[in-house]
Amino acid sequence: MSVLVYNQNWDGKFKKASYEILSYAREVADHMGTEVTALSIGNVEEDELKKLAIYGADKILSADDERLAGLENQAFSSIIAQAAEQENASVVIFANDFTGKAIAPRVSIKLKAGLVPGVVDVPSSYDPLKVKKKAFSGKAYAHVEVKTPVRIIALEGNSFGVSENRKEGVVETFHPELRDEDFRTKVTDVNKVTDKILLTDADIVVSGGRGMKGPENWQPLEELANLLGGATACSRPVSDEGWRPDEEHVGQTGKIIAPDLYIALGISGAIQHLAGVSGSKVIVAVNKDEEAPIFQAADYGVVGDLKEVMPNLISAIKEFKKE
Amino acid sequence: MNFELTEEQQMIQQAARDFAQRELIKDVIERDTKAEYPTEHVKKLAELGFLGMLVSEDYDGGGMDTISYVLAMEEISKVDSSVSVIMSVNNSLVCYGIEAFGTEEQKEKYLKPLARGDKIGAFLLSEPEAGSDATMQRTTAEDKGDHYLLNGTKNWITNGGTGSIYLVMAQTHPEKKHKGINTFIVEKGTPGVTIGPHEDKMGMRSSDTHSIMFNDVKVPKENRIGEDGFGFKFAMKTLDGGRIGIAAQALGIASGAYERALQYSKERKAFGTEISNHQAIAFKLAEMYTNIEASRYFCLKAAWDKDNGLPYAKSSAMAKYFASETAMWVTTEAVQIHGGYGYVKEYHVERLMREAKLTQIYEGTTEVQKLVISRHILNE
Amino acid sequence: MNILVCISNVPDTTTKVRFKDNNTAFDDTGVQWIINPWDELALTRALELKEKSNGAIESITVANVGPKVTEQTIRKALAVGADKAIRVDAEPKDASYVATQLAEVVKNGSYDIIMNGIESSDYNGSSVGSMLAELLDYPSVSSVTSLDIENDEVKLVREIAGGKESVETELPFVAVVQKGIATDPRIPAMRGIMMARKKPMEVLQPVDAEPLTDFVEFEMPEPKGECRMVEPGNEKELIELLHNEAKVI
């Protein structure tokens, strides 16, 4: 028996999200009295692999193959399923991110294992396994029971946190069997922004709505995000109008995010928008309309003109940073 | 009895709602302020088939029933009556008039492009000195053998600048009074037709209203609708149906204002609680809601009468009378509930209030509706 | 070429969510049902592709697993331009159950591209499309933000953490799509609504399948506390609160 974690790497490095699911797996394994095996796919140096031990991996499997540089859903899910079988895993854990969404369902079919995506807490019971997940796009939670011998959990980002729990972390090479059919997609071009903090990774997100009045007014918002080390986002009307790229849209049909701090500037707070940010630990809203529904969801609010409040915020943060 | 909408009717309602809430809402305040004609929106209205939704499929229309038309008019009018009035005039006055009373050739030539929305129609009845009393037509149509010669001025013409197919009422036999009136199909651009300046209106500012002048305009004989002297009857019968459209428009204006007021009252706080918790506001909302529901039943009943081939002159007059009075009252109360915010443009309700006023006036004032209703009940 | 778009029937996104029977089931009283927004985007893209394909794309079929009441939602898909519809007459018990039913639909037809929305706005499973691909042993591309066909080859763009990747794959395959794949969903025209009545809607009986998961209970999030207001001009105070009280900066 074991708990298997798929740890994605980004250009050979792990991130906070990888450590979070490991920390979570450790807690689950301790409850079940079993071990944690971390699985890495692609080229990662041993030093980096060893970092997984800090967060609770008893064993680290590394499947490296030159064909595994880009995400190939069929190959990756096949490797994970084979590792789960080898490790006799009773729980498999993914991050509920782009990759997790693309491969966890395939693994679920391969292993005939019930999958619960969007999990926000540790299981409330283990036999049968019962977990809490987001439902209705953040407007509610559901408790889901998994009846199968192997269970798959895809954990929502920033819902558990990272905790250290050093284990031995023996690194082993893993040699899966792969078919030609597992490699039918080909990445022809990659276009990555490397100098910016990712919206889905960010601890702090500064977001603008229609109240920003136009794309030309985004400079102070970006400055604010930079000062706070955060990412920028926007509401649906803003991306629909083309003021900002689609990737920045947070809300029910855009990205669902759960940063520590979400700052909503000129966002009225439509129910669909709130659904996308309700997982945020703290919400700050600035809006000129004191009746805006965003204030019902916010922890801190300023009723005022963005033209004045944004520069004031910027200088307040600069001052704060000096102290 | 069955109060349920069919699946298709619900789909049409949803389509109209999506169109209004996704597209019209974006620039409605700006268009109203600038009195700018909604060119792009009218194009979309045509693509979606709303401009000829009542016309049968045989003539490139949507073949929808009047109930669906009421539902669509309501949804669009919740957001922008400048757009819904274009739809109403084209559908229930111009298209209906030609479809019900025109010749096959007239339908082929004029109804089809109107139903597709390739062309927009206008209904030319009102005159500087003949509004409610349509019997006193001063525009004349002199019979010249193979054609008529039109002279006179028409007022308050919706789609006056953008419309290109006019239905014109004119007096051919003054001695026969209203029995001497005829209706003609006249194309824009016919020599002698002059379009007057754009009227700067209080509400529905982005629909284009003009006066149109006729000076020795030659109209071919085959463009007369119905037999000689049918014009007044034509106008009255067509307006019966038009009233359902305007009633539905008034219903939409009222429910649009009510929805905003309801929302606002649940958000706005005064004396330590949301204002909807104050009985003064809660009762107002109850009264508004009840009257809007009553308007809705009136509208749907009139539409149902028409769809089922029953007389609908009385039911449509009652619908228009009640719904437009309700719209005026409800929008005024919606502004009141919003307080100061209600008086500024951003909150939409002041515009809806300005729009409501027109529904009490055009296509038969409230007083004319009462006249129609009273004649019916006294003669029954 | 034929496209299959899988659609699910979900409550309108503005629905106030409520539960019944001791919080064990969604209360659908008075709920307006819609095509799941992501599935609707998939359908919109499928229609765009067909329109510019010069006949290369012959048909767009929509498939749904649901009871008879979902036909209204399915017919909307027909009204905006899908050519035919298939409904598997069963309650969609969980993602694997639905995927199993859809796999049967695919096996009984002939489809080159299968499109799914990345998730449904009700149970947020984000699983059906990829499960379906696995059941069929088809390639799948997820988080697709752009899908084009050039000389019978599919060109895709998918979102990855921090960027985008251009991807090519072999037909038949499953595209799991998200925002960006198409612009606004279409509004059905009167003509489309009329025609939807006449388009074929095939009803299939479900195959035996056991769901792997069970939604046993629901709960609402705890209500937020009062919003603490800070006067404009006192932004310094706000920053201090975020530091000392909320401890987020």
Residues B258, B348 share a domain: yes
Q: Chain C residues contacting B, CB < 8 Å?
A: 72, 75-76, 79, 184, 187-191, 193-194, 196-197
Q: Is B182 among the domain residues?
A: yes
**Contact state of C162 with A196 under an 8 Å Cβ cutoff:** yes
Residues B256, B354 share a domain: yes
**Contact state of B47 with C189 under an 8 Å Cβ cutoff:** yes
Residues B371, B239 share a domain: yes
- The shortest CB-CB distance from A101 to any of C137, C142, C230 is to C142
**How many C-beta atoms lie closer than 10 Å to residue B74's C-beta?**
30
Q: What is the CA radius of gyration of chain A?
A: 21
Query: Nearest CA to B347 among B261, B281, B286?
Result: B261
**Contact state of A293 with B267 under an 8 Å Cβ cutoff:** yes
**Percent of chain C, pLDDT > 90?**
85
pLDDT on residue A25:
97
Q: Is C156 among the domain residues?
A: yes
B278 in contact with A, Cβ within 8 Å? no
**Contact state of C139 with A192 under an 8 Å Cβ cutoff:** no
Number of domains, chain C = 1
Return the bridge partners of C62, or none.
Answer: C5, C85
What kind and span of H or E run contains B87?
Answer: helix B81-88
Please say whether the beta carbons of B91 and B115 come within 8 A. Answer: no
Residues B354, B306 share a domain: yes
DSSP string for A300-313 = EEEES-HHHHHHHH
Query: Domain span at residue B128?
Result: 121-232
User: How close does chain A come to B170, measured CA to CA in Å?
Assistant: 49
Q: Where is mean pLDDT largest: A247-261, B301-315, C221-235?
A: B301-315
In this predicted complex, what is the ipTM? 0.94
> C touches which chains (3+ CB pairs under 8 A)?
A, B
Cis peptide before C172 (omega within 30 of 0): yes
User: How close does chain B come to A204, measured CA to CA in Å?
Assistant: 28
Rounded CA separation B70/B244 (Å): 7
Phi and psi dihedrals of A44, rounded to 5?
A: -135, 135
Q: Is C15 among the domain residues?
A: yes
In the predicted structure, residue B380 carries a pLDDT above the cut 90: no
Q: Is B343 among the domain residues?
A: yes
Which residue in B25, B266, B267 has the most chain A C-beta atoms within 10 A of its own C-beta, making it the best mutation to test that interface? B267
User: How close does chain A come to B135, measured CA to CA in Å?
Assistant: 52
In the predicted structure, residue A86 carries a pLDDT above the cut 90: yes
User: How close does chain A come to C178, measured CA to CA in Å?
Assistant: 8
Q: Is C66 among the domain residues?
A: yes
User: How close does chain C come to B295, measured CA to CA in Å?
Assistant: 22
**How many C-beta atoms lie closer than 10 Å to residue B245's C-beta?**
31
The two structure tokens encoding residue A185: 């997609």
Q: Is B2 among the domain residues?
A: no
Q: Is C183 among the domain residues?
A: yes
Give me the active site residues of B, please. 363
Query: Nearest CA to B220 among B299, B146, B110?
Result: B146
Residue finishing a domain among B215, B232, B249: B232
Rounded CA separation C131/A102 (Å): 9
In the predicted structure, residue A195 carries a pLDDT above the cut 80: no
Which CATH number belongs to the domain containing residue C160 in this structure? 3.40.50.620
Which CATH number belongs to the domain containing residue B35 in this structure? 1.10.540.10
Q: Is C246 among the domain residues?
A: no
- The shortest CB-CB distance from B22 to any of C184, C189, C197 is to C184
Classify strands B147-158 and B209-220 as parallel, antiparallel or unpaired: antiparallel
Which CATH number belongs to the domain containing residue B352 in this structure? 1.20.140.10
pLDDT tens per residue across span B36-65: 999 999 999 999 999 999 999 999 999 999
pLDDT tens per residue across span B105-123: 999 999 999 999 999 999 9
Q: Is C221 among the domain residues?
A: no
The model carries a pTM of 0.90
C101 in contact with A, Cβ within 8 Å? no
C222 in contact with A, Cβ within 8 Å? no
B298 in contact with A, Cβ within 8 Å? no
B48 contacts on C by Cβ (under 8 Å): 187-190
Q: Is B1 among the domain residues?
A: no
Return the bridge partners of A94, or none.
Answer: A154
Which CATH number belongs to the domain containing residue B182 in this structure? 2.40.110.10
Q: Is B263 among the domain residues?
A: yes
Q: How far is CA A107 from CA A101, A104, B72, C129, in A?
A: 11, 5, 48, 13
**Percent of chain C, pLDDT > 70?**
100
Q: Is C220 among the domain residues?
A: no
**Percent of chain B, pLDDT > 70?**
100
Helix (H, G, I), strand (E, B) or coil at B249: helix
**Contact state of A103 with C130 under an 8 Å Cβ cutoff:** yes
C196 contacts on B by Cβ (under 8 Å): 11
Number of domains, chain B = 3
Rounded CA separation C82/C46 (Å): 9
**Contact state of C216 with A240 under an 8 Å Cβ cutoff:** no
Calculate the average pLDDT of chain B: 95
Query: Domain span at residue C49?
Result: 2-213
